[in-house]
Chains A and B, each alone.
Chain A
Amino acid sequence: MNPLCQLVEAALFAAARPVTAEELVVLDSDASLDDVRSALEQLREHYDFDGHGVELVELAGGYQILSRPAFAAAIERAQLNTRQPRLTAAMLETLAVIAYRQPVGRAEIEEIRGVSASGVLRALQERGLIEVTGRSEALGRPLLYSTTPLFLELLGLPDLQNLPRAEELSIALQPPKPESIGPDDAAAYVAADA
């Protein structure tokens, strides 16, 4: 490893959060952004090919050194580190709506999920996964919510583009145009129901 690569490794080791390449440039006045990027790449290869228990992960717009998944069970068993409390189904669904529609107001979230959202929104805010990023121009100027970098960290994603794309899901995100059915079919329904 060259000196810059070592410096980058030391900085990532010292930081308790993902660090962006832009932040790492500050470490060395002679280094350019490209130098830092190639140092990061070198570090990643070093971890991957020289047999290390940690790896370099792209996370929430930055880079972080994380232990490899294979060792998770042993680390937890030895109580050296613990997982965060789980998210409830309501939290995950609300996060999903916000992640795709952000910035989005409470009314739209409630419309999509069919249940009131105030309690879930507060819980997500307390965990730092969403934040208020503005107000809608609609009546009453309701608050608009967006996801935070911590949300990306929690999911292990480099950025929001890494969420599954709508077309990759079995149903398109865009609501399909409802086809009106003919009166004859409908009459058949009624007959069947009766």
Chain B
Amino acid sequence: MTTSAASLPNALGSVVLSAGPPIDSARSGGFVVELEAFSGPLDLLLHLLREEQLEIADIPIARIADQFLAVIHDLGLNQAADYLEMASRLVRLKAQMLLPRTDGELWEDPRAELVRRLLEYQQIKEIAHWMAGAVERRALRFGRGYLPPPPELPPPPLTLDLLELLSAVDRVVGGILHPVLHRVVARPLDVEGATRKLLDLLATHEEFLWTEALGAQPSISDVLSVLLALLEMARHGRCSLSQPAVFSPLVVRRESALPAS
């Protein structure tokens, strides 16, 4: 047990050191690993084990942990999380492997969980490989082609003269049972007239009820015209409007600024 106790500070030191130039891979000639080629930390780990021809069930954690850290050293931040999680797990395992153990006590291998995951992942990779082959084989057979709808071409330019157009309209209109499609009604609102009327009233009266501008039997359009004219005039400051009580008629008042004509 003295050996393991003595190696403890050394081994922990190498974890810290491996943030710098990695010792192991430097010694083995520094093989280059493209991280994009791996689909995750387990994949990378399997690769490292294969590279060193190591048994999954019997991983030299310290060595593999150092190599793993060396490989992910230049990792971009966006991929880092999954790899860093594995790195910290490896470092912890490395420390656990170094803890002194008393003889006779049943020792539970701290690597067991990692070994289980690696074996499981290796099998998944094997299935994925088989599936890739199945996809390849299937891709060699074509079903009946899917017939895409014909492409949408722009409509050909229209060539017809006015006579043709008019006769076409005649034909269409002739087929309609009640050919009156829409009656155009002249705009009944007369805001200008109402404004003139109001200005006349304002010229002679300091204050009057707006109903006075409406006449004897106003139509809806008359009422609307006067109301719109009033609002417009109030907006321009040519009169002021007030309503003494709810639902009572509006009181129109000459603005003091407006000179009486």
* Contacts from A to B (Cβ < 8 Å): 13, 16-17, 55, 57, 64-69, 72, 75, 80-81, 83-84, 87-90, 92-93, 95-97, 99-100, 111-116, 153-157, 163-164, 166, 169-173, 175-176, 178, 180-183, 186-187, 189-194
When the two chains form their complex, are residues B137 and A69 in contact, meaning their CB atoms are under 8 A apart? yes
Given known contacts A114-B86, A186-B101, A190-B97, A171 and B134 CB-to-CB distance under 8 angstroms: no
Whether B125 is near chain A, meaning CB under 8 Å from some CB there, is yes
CB-CB under 8 A from A163, the residues of chain B are 127
Q: Is the CB of A97 within 8 A of B62?
A: no
Contacting residues, chain A, for B127 (C-beta < 8 A):
96, 99-100, 163-164, 169
Within the complex, the shortest CB–CB distance from A32 to chain B, in Å, comes to: 27
Q: 22 A-B residue contacts at CB 8 Å?
A: A57-B141, A64-B143, A67-B142, A68-B141, A93-B124, A95-B131, A113-B39, A114-B42, A116-B82, A155-B134, A155-B138, A164-B130, A178-B112, A178-B113, A181-B58, A183-B103, A183-B104, A187-B4, A187-B101, A191-B7, A192-B60, A193-B11
**Cβ of A101 to closest chain B Cβ, rounded Å:** 10
| Chain B interface, >50% SS class | helix
Judge if B144 is at the interface, Cβ distance under 8 Å. Answer: yes
Among residues of B, the one whose C-beta sits closest to the C-beta of A93 is B128
Given the complex of chains A and B, what is the CA–CA distance between A57 and B10 in angstroms? 64
B114 nearest in chain A by CB position: A178
B-side contacts of A112, CB under 8 Å: 117, 120-121, 124
Q: What residues of A have a CB within 8 angstroms of the CB of B128 in the complex?
A: 89, 92-93, 95-96
Among B101, B127, B137, the one with the most A-chain Cβ atoms within 10 Å of its Cβ is B127
